[in-house]
Amino acid sequence: MTTREHIITNIKVDLVVNTKDDLRRIVFGLEKVSDDNGLPTWTIHFQLFRRDDKAVAYGDARVSLDVVVDKELHSKAAATATNGLTATQAAFLAGPASNAALASQQPGGPPADAVIQRTLLKR
């Protein structure tokens, strides 16, 4: 008997959240890359766009961060890449994750990596 297997070695997904006031857009990119031994690395590509007027197009991202996902969260990253963001995850990105990302850009600001990764834990 022949068996079949379906293994995704590399994938990239961009999940987009727009705030209710339409003044912020968050792009939560998830990328999985497997090395030659099949060991995966997941990376979050976080981008925050802001504007003052809905009639004006978004410009360049105010914040762009690449966060390597902790191994214990790989299954959560895979689930989010496959199923998309839940409402709870989208709200977390629009609130605490965006605020942490902005704070990280201030002189001496704390890193936002851990907060951004917590998005994966929200359900």
The pLDDT, as a whole number, for residue 101 is 97
Does 95 have pLDDT greater than 80?
Answer: yes
| DSSP symbols for 53-70 | -TTSPP-S-SEEEEEEPP
Residue 70: per-residue pLDDT: 97
- How many domains does the chain divide into? 1
Q: Is 2 part of a structural domain of the chain?
A: no
CA distance 111 to 82: 27
Tell me the pTM.
0.91
Residue 60 domain flag: yes
User: Could you tell me if 64 and 47 are in contact, meaning their C-beta atoms sit under 8 angstroms apart?
Assistant: yes
Question: Is position 95 within any domain?
Answer: yes
Question: Which pLDDT band holds residue 4 (cuts at 50, 70, 90)?
Answer: confident
Mean pLDDT of the chain: 95
Given this model, what pLDDT does residue 84 score?
Answer: 97
The beta strand positions in 1-123, using DSSP E, are 10-18, 24-34, 40-50, 63-68
Q: What is the C-alpha to C-alpha distance for residues 55 and 37, in angstroms, rounded to an integer?
A: 49
Answer whether residue 117 is part of any domain: yes
Grouping H, G, I as helix, E, B as strand and the rest as coil, residue 76 is helix
Q: Which amino acid is present at 97?
A: A
Residue 5: inside a domain? no
Domain annotation covers residue 4:
no
Range 100-113 average pLDDT:
97
- Grouping H, G, I as helix, E, B as strand and the rest as coil, residue 106 is coil
11-57 pLDDT tens trace: 999 999 999 999 999 999 999 999 988 899 999 999 999 999 999 99
Tokens of 1: 């008997």
For 25, the domain range is 10-121
